[in-house]
Structure 1
Amino acid sequence: MTLAPRVVLVHRHTEYQELLARHGSRGQAAFFLAGRGRSLDEVEQRHQQLQAALNAVAGAVPLDWRRSRVERGDLDRFLFTPEDLVLVVGQDGLVANVAKYLTGQPVIGIDAEPGRNAGVLVRHRPTDAAELLRLAASPAVTGQLAERTMVEAVADDTQRLLALNEVYLGQRGHQTARYRLAPPGGAPAEAQASSGVLVGTGTGATGWCRSAWLERRSELVLPAPEAPELSWFVREAWPSPVTGTRQVQGRCTAGEELALTVESDQLVVFGDGVESDALQLTWGQTVRIRVAEERLRLVL
């Protein structure tokens, strides 16, 4: 007997829910904001909009299908199965948060607040959910999947981190990080002092990496989201008698890697802005960053 598909609905707490959790009641939250010249009405309206989207999407799941729901903070404890269909309702960043826990399951991104999100990864409306679920459960879905490149960081003690947008290597508090950077292509390694290194995919080229790219007016061509390539940027490299600034940006294609050897007491590597889930590196350790074998499979 074949099991019915399981739909996993991924969401995150709203600012309204976080305010209530912090202040205990709606009245106390409203009082707190009013004393700062702000109103609770906007965040409450956005909360209601998200709840309406979640209800609409949940209602689109066929009655004979299995279903589960997971909040962003519980993703690292949730067990996805290979047969799952993943429905992400929220912002683009929520798709990035869930991507590293998947192993090829189709992902449907639902934009709960059209006009507020870029819509790079959450491209669909709640009203599209029923049709998209039928497509995702059919053999025809293969032709409707966009595969997005992911990036991995692997330390010499087997620690591994996977990300959809980018990984960051540096000090946890973003102070000066010291390390030795060996770029792809065989160029000599360079000792550097900087506020960290960003290595991103083509999807990440619309976010943090693009910010670094724009700030330095770089002429580097950023990769496309599907391309098996990465771009990397050193943030605020500092020249000194023992540190250089020659190797501060570049591309890394499939089969190549960027290697960084730690020369600080402790550095961290985290992905997609989630600092709580980071690799811990000490002096002398090396981490290698490259295109990952895993890819996000996004239903279009």
Structure 2
Amino acid sequence: MTQQARFVLIERKTRLTELVERFNTWSQAKFYLEHSGAKVQDYLAEHDRYQQVIGRIEGALRKQGRLARVERDLLDTYQFHSEDIVVVAGQDGLVANTLKYLNGQPVIAVNPDPERWDGQLLPFREENIEDAVQAVILGRATTKAVTFAEARTSDGQRMLAVNDLFIGPRSHTSARYTLHWGERQEVQSSSGIIVSTGLGSTGWLQSILAGAAGVSGHRPEVDLSGGFPWDADYLYYSVREPFPSQTTGTDLVMGRITAQRGLMLDSLMPNHGVVFSDGMEADAMTFNAGSRLTIQIADRQGVLVTA
């Protein structure tokens, strides 16, 4: 049984690798680091540690089945199979970025450098990867479901979010749109809208709530200070810095998105309107005047294997 297992090992470039790509050679990258006051040895230690761990994980996986190694930048082009067991070695962001390209395949997330990264989404270490894999193969693994958000535009664009969606301007200008919430609607001008999943609810959403509380002097009626469950059957939207004027309002600045109530937005931005997920601005969808955006709970969930 184990020889037929299919593994996909997801890895990322180290800071050192990215610098060498930027400057073409290690000597040029080292020169840059030294003259910028950075600790060259820290870059080297991080790189060496990561490569060693990746090598040991690869060896452990090859003993139990077939293996493909996929670098983060290639995730959007890789064709995953339904029977794949996905192993992610990296920081929390790599786990979130991987989940959106899967359709229920279990993810074993490994912290390759516990002294450097806390890793809230990284319950495993390299030394217990074989036990984790065996638990998945034998159907004995404990897993946790992760609810996704989904954004769809009227011109056919679609995007999933594991942590959160941002809807707003590409640059530091105001976003203008009409927000539809149930039977109500409101033209708004703001710094954009955040839609948070349970997994992302302890991140960006918290900074928005903290800022709003600091300005207004009171907390929102709904207490989300501790976030909400990863597998919750709802999302929350929050408007960043809504601006009141003769033509724009600030009444519909926060709400719970459910299967029965989605969020709909009509762009009033002539250009530079975007939607991106999980902080990946380079993969943004366009959201300009004439486009309608619908935000809802995605019809699939992620599956994280827990320790």
Query: Could you tell me the TM-score, scaled by structure 1's length?
Result: 0.93
Structure 2 partner of 1:221: 223
Distance in 2 separating the partners of 1:118 and 1:255? 37
Cα contact 2:86–2:105 (8 A) shared by 1: yes
Cα contact 2:2–2:137 (8 A) shared by 1: no
Q: Deviations over 1:202-259 (max 9, x none)?
A: 1111222222122223433332212111111111111111111122122222332111
Q: Deviations over 1:113-172 (max 9, x none)?
A: 21443422112111111111111112223xx11001110011122321111001111112
Identity of aligned residues (%): 38
Q: How many residues align?
A: 296
Cα contact 1:30–1:39 (8 A) shared by 2: no
Letter paired with 2:27:
G
Gaps of 5+ in 1: none
Task: Note the 1:122-271 alignment, pairs <5 A.
Answer: 122-141=122-141, 144-183=142-181, 186-217=182-213, 218-219=219-220, 220-222=222-224, 223-266=228-271, 267-271=273-277
Structure 2 partner of 1:93: 93
Moved more, 112-121 or 239-248: 112-121
Q: Does 1:294 align with 2:294?
A: no
Letter paired with 1:296:
G
Q: Give the CA deviation at 1:174.
A: 3.8
Distance in 1 separating the partners of 2:202 and 2:118? 9
Distance in 1 separating the partners of 2:125 and 2:2? 30
Letter paired with 1:281:
F
Gaps of 5+ in 2: 214-218
Moved more, 35-44 or 257-266: 35-44
Cα contact 1:204–1:210 (8 A) shared by 2: no
Q: 1:116 to 1:39 in 2, by over 3 A?
A: closer
Structure 2 partner of 1:70: 70
Distance in 2 separating the partners of 1:64 and 1:233? 46
Choose which of 268, 271, 283 in structure 1 pairs with 2:289.
283
Distance in 2 separating the partners of 1:260 and 1:52? 48
Letter paired with 2:168:
G
Distance in 2 separating the partners of 1:78 and 1:43? 29
Q: Does 1:35 align with 2:35?
A: yes
Moved more, 114-123 or 243-252: 114-123
Q: 1:239 to 1:118 in 2, by over 3 A?
A: farther
Cα contact 1:53–1:112 (8 A) shared by 2: yes
Cα contact 2:2–2:64 (8 A) shared by 1: no
Q: Does 1:79 align with 2:84?
A: no
